[in-house]
Amino acid sequence: MSTSTITPDLAADQPALPPRILSKTRPFYWSVRREIWENRSIYIAPAAIAAVVLVGLLIGAIRLPHKAVLMFSALDPARQAETAAIPYGIAAFAVMLTAFIVAFFYCLGTLQGERRDRTILFWKSLPVSDLTTVLAKATIPLVILPLVTFVVIVVTLLAMLVASLAILPASGLPAALLWSAFPLPQTPLVLLYILACVSLWLAPIWGWLLLISGWARRAPILWAVGPPLALSVFERLAFNTSYLWSLLNYRLTGALSESFAVKVDAKGQIQADLHHLDPMKFLSSPGLWIGLVVAAALFAAVVWQRRYRTPI
């Protein structure tokens, strides 16, 4: 009996393999990875800005005038700690602002881009639902970018601390000066708390931008920014009020005032006290929950809209 007559019989006797069941989260996981692969600015832009700020601060510390060193040494310990924390704040703010700009343009271009280059036809041919696709795109500004920002800021601040050991003594300042303004166990937790609060607070902004990205045929930034600004100007001119502008400003900048305790300065103005976290105040804020409900409605509209979108 030849081998050719035995092989079919053996193959017929083997039991059929059961169909492979894919995890329900696997399409979402690969959709998120696709967004990261296709949009490298998600991690390149914050890292590049952090490097520029870090180099600038280090050069500035090396060229620090002797007069400024004397003025700093004359301050009381509390003022010295506040002044030493300024470079940290500059570096963190620059990276966070860059992440916001990246998220802004990512949300504006992600759905329009796949319609413009006609890749939407390819992605719709895959067994990936519109809900999974939209959730993956929403995950970038809500989760991925805050995590990238957190890592970049922490690495940048640690690099500043290490560099200060060599730079500050050359300027006549104690090497541990910046270390006293950077409590290692506390600062990363506060930073993570801030990023989480800001991410949740800005959720309706990302939902609005995604909706405009999927709807506009061209110039989505004009459709996203123009109507709110035009309505604000119209309200001001027609009724001499600024409720809409105050609402927009509250949505863009209200995360810090709602997530921290408040204090009154010497002029009687209420400001956020960044030294005292207040998570219960943030979680009980009506602005948070109203914003999340609006964001959920906008994301649902984006899913429905993408179902009927065609190439531009």
DSSP code string of 110-122:
HHHHHHHSSHHHH
Query: Is the confidence at residue 195, as pLDDT, over 90?
Result: yes
| 1 is a domain residue | no
pLDDT tens per residue across span 235-258: 988 888 888 999 999 998 888 888
**How many angstroms separate the Cα of 76 from the Cα of each of 63, 80, 82, 177, 182?**
23, 6, 10, 13, 18
Provide CB contacts within 8 A for 164, sequence distance 6+. Answer: 61, 175, 177, 178, 179
Q: Does the residue 13 lie in any domain?
A: no
Report if pTM > 0.95.
Answer: no
**Domain annotation covers residue 204:** yes
pLDDT in tens, 155-181: 998 888 777 777 766 666 665 666 666
Residue 14 falls inside a structural domain:
no
pLDDT bin (cut points 50, 70, 90) of residue 24 is low
User: Considering the chain, what is the average pLDDT of its residues?
Assistant: 79
**pLDDT of 127-145, one tens digit each?**
778 888 889 999 999 999 9
3-state secondary structure (DSSP) of residue 274: strand
Between residues 200 and 274, which one has the greater pLDDT? 200
11 falls within a domain: no
Tokens standing for 82? 């506040």
Q: Residue 289: pLDDT band by 50, 70, 90 thresholds?
A: very high
pLDDT of residue 2: 47
Q: Which pair of tokens denotes residue 93? A: 């703010």
Report if residue 5 sits inside a domain.
Answer: no
How many domains would you assign to the chain?
A: 1
Rounded to whole angstroms, how far apart are CA atoms 24 and 286?
Answer: 34
Is 241 a member of any domain?
yes
Give percent of the chain with pLDDT exceeding 90: 28
Phi, psi of 273 (to 5 degrees): -95, 100
CA distance 294 to 308: 22
Residue 66's domain comprises 25-307
Question: Is residue 139 situated within a structural domain?
Answer: yes
For the segment 70-75, the average pLDDT, to the nearest whole number, is 60
Query: 299: alpha, beta or left, given left = phi > 0 and alpha = psi -120 to 50?
Result: alpha
> What is the tens place of the pLDDT at every residue in 208-223?
999 998 888 888 889 9
